[in-house]
Amino acid sequence: MTQDLRYSALKKTPFHSRTSLASRTNKYYNWNGYTVPTEYSTTELEYTAARNGTSVMDLTPMGKYEITGGHAHQFVDYLVTRDLSEMKDNTVAYIIWCNEDGKVIDDGTIFKFSSTKFMLCCAVKIYNWLNDSAYGFDVTISDVTDTIAALAIQGPTSCSTLKTFGATDLETLKPFEMREYKIDGFDILISRTGFTGDLGYELWTDPKNAELTWDNIEIAGKELKLRPFGMNALEMTRIEAGFIQTNTDFMAAEDSLRPTRMRSPYEIGMGWLVHLNKNSYFVGKKALKKEKEESTTERCLVGLDIDGDKPAHGSVIYNSKKEDIGIVTAALWSPIMKKNIALASLKRPYGIQIKENIFAEIYHPEELEYRKIWARCKVVKRQFFNPERRNKVPADLYE
Amino acid sequence: MSGNSSFDAIIIGGGHNGLVCANVLARKNKRVLICEARKECGGMVNNDITNYVPPVTSAVSSSIGGMQINYIPKTSIALSETGQHIRLVGNQHIDHKSISRFSSHDADRFNDFHEKMSKFSKTLGSFMMASPPRIMNNSFSDYFKLFKLGLNVRLLGKKNFNEFARMIGLNIADELEDNFENTLLQGLIAHDSVIGSNLGPRSPGSLINLLYRMAIHNNSLFGGIFQIDGGNDQFTKHLIEKCKSNNVEIKTSASVKNCIIENDCAVGVELNNGEKMYAKKIISNADPRSTYFSLLGSQNLDTDVKRKIKHHRSKGRVAKLILELDKLPSFNNCDDIDLDSRMVIAPSIDYIEETFNPSKFDKLSLEPTLEICVKKDSDQDPKLDIQVQYAPYKTHQGWENIKESYVESIIKIISKYAPNINECIERKKLLTPDDIESEYNVSGGHWHHGEIQIDQLFMMRPIPGASQYKTHLDGLFMCGAGTHPGGGLIGISGKNAAKAVLDDF
């Protein structure tokens, strides 16, 4: 059904009839011009489903761009910092891309169908960036955000749910692989990817197939603790997984007004995605090479294990002399880890050479009054939660 | 690879800037090779393109060990349909006298106007001859240069400073109408302000174009316009001879396909025939667009650099019409000396603006603005060499379909001033900006490899981040008119680029 969009400020996703039915709280937010639930019932319950059963999230608003043409592979390799020259068909790769100053614009995933067809997914809109970058390459960029309905199916029982739904032999799919299925007469692409740091899949199909898919997955997951989950629960899981969020953990280079707020990959823990020895040029290579050679990296993004149980939302981080050395970008009391964790952007050498005597100043709200807590922090790996089942092949199955 | 390079520098393009650059380098004992795509060097310093030149500055001349070129000063004539032409030679007293025949008010005003413009062009010029500062480079010398320009402007005094600030974005039409009442005089000065550019007299910024022109023409409106004795070829010949004596190797018909890049550094060039040559430094005399998109290659450019180069304005707006004659036509009320002058058909500001208007829509004006040069060597048939202002780079109908009618409309205009022109014509040849692009390998066919406008001058020429003759690729430099200070056949870009290259060795 085509919607009359003339008077609606925000678009509805093809799953809207189902997500609105599942919503008990009427809490929605604007994601790339779509209205999608922040929370369906309670965030904690949704989080629990993601960690113990299956969680379903409407991913449709995520920016999706199809890159086709003779130079598609070459172009993708040029666009991102990671060396993708050896990328195989039907695989997915996690990527970041930078501007000419070597500052990160966004992160995302790239799907390779063939050397002439790719799909790029990311949180923000980057059509203009892609198009301007593509000048001189034989590629066509099309924004397919509205023409592909997408769901995230995450959690320990997600493989079983999708198998019951009709995805035969799904357990053999390795992490960062994808496979085409024909289910109920519709083409469905399933990739073993996700943003929760757990076993999980993402599902891509025609918007016409959206409602049917949602209904059938709900039926398939009935006995497997399936629950729709919203952005708030996703935020909890992604912090536990140590995944970064653009404009939360760092400012997108194209969006930040102050040049000093832009971050290089090395400053947000993404140095492993920068391949300076890549044979060909990539956007930002010159600047990144210089940064590496001259060791001018100023900050770092680290995981913090914080004393106590009060989440350090937005806390300023200090050294023992009470000098300001950074800020918490995301924080959470992790139910599964039973730990008070946070991601923090610190001024080097703190977080790299100096990991001791770091403190967070936490303002804990208690009924219109703040309790000020001075909590000791331990610098730890950003990936707080990384269960074995996440990368296990074949994936765990449940009945 | 660069360790066993056979040359110290390879210059891509043997235009005059390339030749100057080669000579400066060679005089510092560098082994230089010039690769020229055409059959001969010289680029647009060509009788087919250029009629009048500014003088080469002593700085350029001495940097290559002196130039023995004879410059012949040229008078300018604003032709009038009624035969009441205005003749200006660039001498205060003579010009005052000729203008006062039409208006004593204008004559007095002209002196003041000239003095003011000359002062400002000198200020601008003091900044033009050296390499421009690079913004965001955080280098002391760059800040100092910027400070010096600011100081030079401030030293003009408060009144002049305010006037300079007022004029920098102004259109020339307003300024001329404020000063002069004679429309022919207004037309002549307006013509010189907009020639070679994409601006009409009423376009903002057309005034700075005139200041730029004056800065390279001895800070004079009509006093620094010359022809080279023996034709422009003498200029090229002289530079080539210098190259020979300095042991610069020149390869003609050697069209460069792209730069060879190793470890993110330019180390050589590959010719269209597959031949590869290596050098420690590569210098492009090509226009910025070709340099970046063809030589460097868009797969080696950051997105923001691509954006900047795509924004770079380099669409030419001047066509060249050459009329070969069996005898000289008689221009109304012109004597032999007049025929030896630079004749301009731009009877008023409005006339020029009307010519400009259709070009904005890639359409032709049937009443174009013209600058005519009569060539009458004793041993050859005479020729009319005509610069046609506001011929669009591309037209909707396609140039091939409308070239002929366009030529006819130009001749019709000339016939108003020289009624028997039609009887004299033997052959006609029109070079559109499109033709100039393909024949001379200049993107857009622009005289100056890019508009001379405030957004493309000084440290923004050709684009921010590439303003000190360096490109975004290590080892690759630029020395063409697209770099600071720009075109005009003055060779400063070539000389400054050579210095930048030498500093990098």
* A159-206 per-position pLDDT tens digit: 999 999 999 999 999 999 999 999 989 999 999 999 999 999 999 999
Identify whether the C-beta of residue B325 lies closer than 8 Å to the C-beta of residue A151: no
Helices B172-179, B183-194: crossing angle, 10 deg rounding: 150
**Rg (alpha carbons) of chain A, rounded to whole number:** 21
Return the residue of B nearest to A135 by Cα.
B298
Model pLDDT, residue A2: 59
What is the per-residue pLDDT for B2?
42
Digit-by-digit pLDDT tens for chain B (505 residues) are 444 568 999 999 999 999 999 999 999 999 999 999 999 988 888 777 888 888 888 888 888 888 888 999 999 999 999 999 999 999 989 999 999 999 999 999 999 999 999 999 998 887 777 777 766 556 677 777 777 777 777 778 888 888 888 888 899 999 999 999 999 999 999 999 999 889 999 999 899 889 989 998 999 999 989 998 888 888 899 999 999 999 999 999 999 999 999 988 999 999 999 999 999 999 999 999 999 999 999 999 999 999 999 999 889 999 999 999 998 999 999 998 899 999 999 999 999 999 999 999 999 988 999 999 998 877 788 999 999 999 999 898 899 999 999 999 999 999 999 999 999 999 999 999 999 998 888 888 888 888 888 888 877 888 888 878 999 999 999 999 888 888 777 888 999 999 999 998 8
Quote the pLDDT of residue B138.
Answer: 62
Spatial neighbors of B349 by CB under 8 A, at least 6 apart, are: B173, B176, B177, B183, B186, B187, B190, B201, B202
Residues 6+ apart with CB under 8 A from B91: B223
Q: Which residues fall within 8 angstroms of residue A384, CB to CB, at 6 or more apart?
A: A239, A240, A241, A242, A303, A334, A337, A339, A341
Q: Which helix (H) or strand (E) holds A16?
A: helix A16-22
Question: Residue B201 has what pLDDT?
Answer: 96
State the pLDDT at residue A212: 96
B303 → closest Cβ in A129, A280, A286: A129
Which of B302, B309, B474 is the best residue to mutate to test the A interface, defined by the most A CB atoms within 10 Å of its own CB? B302
- Whole-model pTM: value is 0.89
- Provide DSSP, B256-304: EEEEEEETTEEEEEEETTS-EEEEEEEEE-S-HHHIIIIIIIGGGS-HH
Q: Give the model confidence (pLDDT) of A60-72 as tens digits.
A: 999 999 999 999 9
Q: For residue A77, what is the enclosing H or E element?
A: helix A72-79
Q: Are B419 and B385 in contact (CB under 8 A)?
A: no
Interface of A with B (CB under 8 A): 74, 78, 99-100, 129, 132-133, 135-137, 280-281, 283-286, 289
For A377, the token pair is 């922090």
Higher confidence at residue B5 or residue A30? Answer: A30
Distance from the A275 Cα atom to the nearest Cα atom in chain B, whole angstroms = 13
CB contact B311 to A (< 8 Å): no
Is the previous residue joined to B464 through a cis bond, with omega within 30 degrees of 0?
A: no
Cβ-defined contacts of B405-411 (< 8 Å, 24+): B406/B364, B406/B430, B407/B321, B409/B364, B409/B366, B409/B367, B409/B368, B410/B321, B410/B368, B410/B370, B410/B386, B411/B323
Domain definitions of chain A by residue range: 11-60+148-241, 298-383
C-beta atoms of B293 and A283 within 8 A: no
Distances (CA, A) of A170 to A188, B45, B168, B504: 13, 71, 69, 59
How far off is chain A from B304, nearest CA to CA, in Å? 6
**Backbone phi, psi, residue B6, to 5°:** -85, -20
Residue B401: Cβ-neighbour burial (10 angstroms; 0-12, 13-18, 19+): exposed
Domain ranges of chain B: 2-68+229-312+449-504, 91-223, 318-392+394-431
The fold adopted by the segment(s) A11-60+148-241 is: Gyrase A; domain 2 (3.30.1360)
The reported pLDDT for the residue numbered B3 is: 45
Place of tokens 């660069």: B2
Task: Give me the pLDDT at residue B65, please.
Answer: 87
Q: How many other C-beta atoms lie within 10 A of the C-beta of residue B65? A: 12
Is B302's CB within 8 Å of A286's CB? yes
Give B295 to chain A, closest Cα distance, Å. Answer: 13
E-only strand ranges, A115-193: 117-122, 140-143, 149-154, 178-183, 186-191
**Does residue B462 have a cis bond before it (omega within 30 degrees)?**
yes
Domain range A298-383, its CATH number among 3.40.50.80, 2.40.30.110, 3.40.50.2000, 3.20.140.10: 2.40.30.110
pLDDT at A91: 97
Nearest residue to B15 via CA among B463, B505, B447, B450: B447
* Cα(B294)–Cα(B463) distance, integer angstroms: 17
Write out pLDDT tens, residues A121-154: 998 889 999 999 999 999 999 999 999 999 999 9
CB-based contacts of B395-401 (< 8 A; 24+ apart in sequence) = B395/B362, B395/B363, B395/B364, B396/B362, B396/B363, B399/B432, B399/B434, B399/B435
Residue B291 exposure: Cα atoms within 13 Å on the Cβ side: 32
Tell me what pLDDT residue B1 has: 44
Beta bridge partners of A377: A306, A358
Q: Could you say which of A133, A286, A289 has the minimum Cβ distance to residue B303?
A: A133
The predicted structure's pLDDT at residue A198:
95
Tokens (6 digits) for B34? 């010039």
**Parallel, antiparallel or unpaired: strands B249-251 and B32-35:** parallel
- Residue in A with minimal Cα distance to B472: A286
3-state secondary structure of A151: strand
pLDDT tens digits, residue range B338-382? 999 999 999 999 999 999 999 999 999 889 999 999 988 777 889
Taking the alpha carbons of B63, B241, B478, B487 in that order, is the dihedral positive or negative?
Answer: positive
- Identify which of A100, A137, A280 has the shortest CB distance to residue B302: A100
Instruction: Summarize pLDDT for A250-259 with one digit per residue, the tens.
Output: 999 988 888 8
**Whole-angstrom Cα distance, residue A38 to residue A24?**
11
What architecture is domain B2-68+229-312+449-504?
Answer: 3-Layer(bba) Sandwich (3.50)
Q: Catalogue the long-range contacts made by A364-372 (C-beta closer than 8 Å, 24 or more residues apart).
A: A364/A310, A371/A310
Exposed/middle/buried for residue A371 (C-beta within 10 Å: 0-12, 13-18, 19+): exposed
pLDDT reading at A386 higher than 80: yes
Percentages of chain A per state (helix, strand, coil), in multiples of 5: 25, 35, 40
Q: Which of helix, strand or coil describes residue B496?
A: helix
Closest Cβ opposite residue B305 in set A78, A100, A137:
A100
Beta-bridged to residue A63, according to DSSP, are: A122
C-alpha radius of gyration, chain B, whole number = 23
Report the distance separating Cα A294 and Cα B263, nearest Å. 17
CB A328 within 8 A of CB A313: yes
DSSP-derived secondary structure letter, B334: -
Q: Which of B293, B299, B307 sits opposite A132 (nearest CB)?
A: B307
pLDDT at residue B251, rounded to an integer: 93
**Mutation site for B-interface testing, chosen from A129, A283, A290, A292 by largest number of B Cβ within 10 Å:** A283
Instruction: Please identify which residue in the block is written with the tokens 């997500």.
Output: A19
Predicted pLDDT of residue B135: 60
CA B146/CA A359 separation, integer angstroms: 46
Give pLDDT tens digits for B447-485: 888 888 888 887 788 888 887 899 999 999 999 988 888
ipTM (interface pTM): 0.86
pLDDT tens for A247-300 read 999 999 988 888 889 999 999 999 999 999 998 999 999 999 999 999 999 999
CA distance B259 to B77: 47
| Cα distances (Å, whole numbers) of residue A358 to A245, A323, A349 | 24, 10, 12
A135 and B300 in contact by Cβ < 8 A? no
Mean pLDDT of A237-244: 96
Instruction: Tell how far CA B502 is from the center of its chain.
Output: 26
Mean pLDDT of A102-114: 96
